[in-house]
């Protein structure tokens, strides 16, 4: 029986998330910009993530089909060592921090994730991976703030950290007029479960 309170679609992506320490390190660097550019639409720090595959709006019943292959993929993949580094902007509006470390492995992981999704029969726009962490968006008509802020922390280099979990994430975009919030639908540890089931 359908639950009328449950959404029929969910906006989904697959991502990695920096640990709290790495996020705090970058947030400290950004603190002056929070004060000088309060009109930017700043992402919540707890929502910072590195998208590997953006699937868009999916029927809710499709989401469980993704979970077994993603769990298997994570179990057979070693953790990556990454760091947040530098800055930039897309289209003068989207402010981001770059990714350093095992970037080749990150591209291979993203390719594996996208293949797993395609093998489930889920169609999505397979854009080239540009590893980054989205921090904020400028309001329409503001073509300078993102570039100004990016310049202010262009030399930022964070400490390295292990990316230990693969996250299947859902968001409330399209169903709420408020800020975008993300929630883990499920997350799996990399390389940690291979021997738990006798394989």
Element (H, E) at 100: strand 94-101
Spatial separation of the C-alpha atoms in residues 193 and 199, rounded to whole Å: 9
Q: Which region, left, alpha or beta, applies to residue 101 given φ > 0 means left and ψ of -120 to 50 means alpha? A: left
Positions marked catalytic: 49, 132
d(Cα 126, Cα 115) in Å, to the nearest integer? 10
CA distance 159 to 197: 34
d(C-alpha 137, C-alpha 63), whole Å: 28
List, in sequence order, every residue forming a beta bridge with 162; answer none if it has no partner.
81
185 Rama sector, left if φ>0, alpha if ψ -120 to 50, beta otherwise: alpha
């Amino acid at each position: 029986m359908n639950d009328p309170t449950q959404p029929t679609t969910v906006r989904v992506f697959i991502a990695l998330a920096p640990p709290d320490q790495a996020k705090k390190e970058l947030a400290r660097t950004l603190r002056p910009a929070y004060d000088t550019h309060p009109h930017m639409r700043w992402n919540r720090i707890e929502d910072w993530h590195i998208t590997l595959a953006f699937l868009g709006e999916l029927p809710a019943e499709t989401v469980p089909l993704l979970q077994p292959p993603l769990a298997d993929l994570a179990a057979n993949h070693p953790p990556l060592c990454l760091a947040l580094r530098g800055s930039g902007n897309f289209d003068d509006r989207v402010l981001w921090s770059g990714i350093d470390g095992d970037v080749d492995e990150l591209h291979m992981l993203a390719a594996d994730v996208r293949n797993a999704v395609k093998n489930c029969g889920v169609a999505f726009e397979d854009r080239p991976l540009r590893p980054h962490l989205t921090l904020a968006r400028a309001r329409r008509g503001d073509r300078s703030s993102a570039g100004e802020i990016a310049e202010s922390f262009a030399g930022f280099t964070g400490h390295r950290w292990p990316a230990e979990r693969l996250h299947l994430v859902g968001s409330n975009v399209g169903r709420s007029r408020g800020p975008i919030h993300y929630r883990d639908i499920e997350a799996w540890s990399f390389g940690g479960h291979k021997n738990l089931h006798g394989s």
